[in-house]
């Protein structure tokens, strides 16, 4: 859960977004289970869910809050310092940060949304190497998220090329890619 929906969307348009730090711990002994950061460049409107307005009888009647949908953030957007009670090596943390810094360069929210959507599709495959046709299998899902785009396969290829050019993916030839 987060604060006001309109304020959050307005904040996403600005350049002063915060990074989000999240912590899970065991309430019995206060042992940290997971501690991770979501860099600010992963925050786009698609991860923000509008809650229904408060009732007329509420102290803040008609106020509209929002939820941050963490599962809409690609795995590379969750940088773990502690994962499953294990402190992660400093080199891994820094490498994961570096891997996606190119997203800061993209100022257009819609374009960034497309990049993150394709990254989520690749994450859903749950493997290091994949074929272009496997990402094409998400065509319907992407079409429903971007109804104004009539060239989804072209857009998928474009985003994979961008991810390749930014060093996130490696193109291995004949429609085969590898997550770096």
Residue that is last in its domain, among 101, 117, 149: 101
pLDDT tens digit sequence for 108-117:
888 899 999 9
Distance CA 45, CA 43 (A): 7
Shared domain check, 91 and 24: yes
Asked if residues 144 and 138 have their Cβ atoms less than 8 Å apart, the reply is no
Shared domain check, 86 and 73: yes
pLDDT of res. 69? 92
Residue with tokens 């985003």: 159
pLDDT of res. 42? 92
Residue that is last in its domain, among 56, 74, 101: 101
Shared domain check, 124 and 168: yes
In DSSP terms, 23 is beta-bridged to: 35
Distance CA 122, CA 169 (A): 10
Shared domain check, 88 and 2: yes
pLDDT of res. 148? 93
b vs e for 23-50, b when ≥16 Cβ sit within 10 Å of the residue's Cβ?
A: eeeeeeeeeeebbbbbbbbbbbebbbee
Across the range 16-27, mean pLDDT stands at 90
Shared domain check, 128 and 78: no
The boundaries of the domain holding residue 148 are 106-180
Sheet holding 169-173, edge to edge: 129-131, 176-179, 169-173
Residue 70 vs residue 16, higher pLDDT: 70
Shared domain check, 44 and 90: yes
Shared domain check, 145 and 91: no
Shared domain check, 174 and 94: no
Positive/negative CA dihedral, 4, 6, 9, 10: negative
pLDDT tens digit sequence for 45-97:
888 999 999 999 988 899 999 999 999 999 999 999 999 999 999 999 999 99
Shared domain check, 114 and 85: no
pLDDT of res. 17? 81
* CATH number for the domain harbouring residue 123: 1.10.10.10
> Where in the chain does DSSP place strands (E)?
20-26, 31-38, 48-50, 66-68, 79-83, 86-87, 129-131, 169-173, 176-179
Q: What percent of the chain has pLDDT over 70?
A: 99
The angle formed by the CA atoms of residues 22, 31 and 86, to the nearest 5 degrees, is 75
Number of structural domains the chain divides into: 2
Shared domain check, 119 and 54: no
Q: Which of 103-107, 111-115, 140-144, 155-159 has the lowest mean pLDDT?
A: 103-107
Residue that is last in its domain, among 101, 132, 149: 101
Shared domain check, 68 and 83: yes
* Alpha-carbon Rg for the chain in angstroms: 18
Task: Name the 3-class secondary structure at 7.
Answer: helix
E strand or H helix at 135: helix 132-136
Shared domain check, 42 and 16: yes
Residue 44 CA, chain-centre distance (Å), reads 8
* CATH number for the domain harbouring residue 25: 3.40.210.30
Quote the pTM value.
0.83
């Amino acid at each position: 859960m987060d604060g006001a929906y309109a304020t959050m969307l307005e904040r996403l348009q600005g350049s002063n977004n915060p990074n989000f730090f999240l912590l899970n711990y065991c309430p019995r002994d206060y042992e940290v289970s997971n501690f991770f950061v979501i860099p600010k460049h992963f925050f786009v409107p698609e991860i923000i869910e509008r809650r229904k307005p408060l009732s007329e009888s509420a102290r803040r009647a008609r106020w509209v809050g929002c939820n941050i949908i963490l599962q809409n953030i690609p795995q590379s957007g969750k940088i773990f310092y502690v994962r499953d009670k294990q402190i992660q090596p400093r080199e891994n943390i820094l490498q994961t940060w570096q891997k996606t810094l190119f997203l800061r360069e993209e100022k257009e929210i819609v374009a960034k949304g497309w990049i993150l959507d394709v990254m989520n599709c690749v994450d859903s495959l749950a493997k290091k190497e994949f074929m272009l046709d496997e990402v094409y299998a998400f065509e319907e899902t992407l079409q429903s998220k971007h109804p104004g785009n009539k060239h989804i396969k072209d857009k998928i290829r474009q985003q994979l090329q961008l991810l390749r050019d930014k060093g996130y993916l490696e193109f291995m030839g004949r429609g085969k890619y590898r997550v770096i």
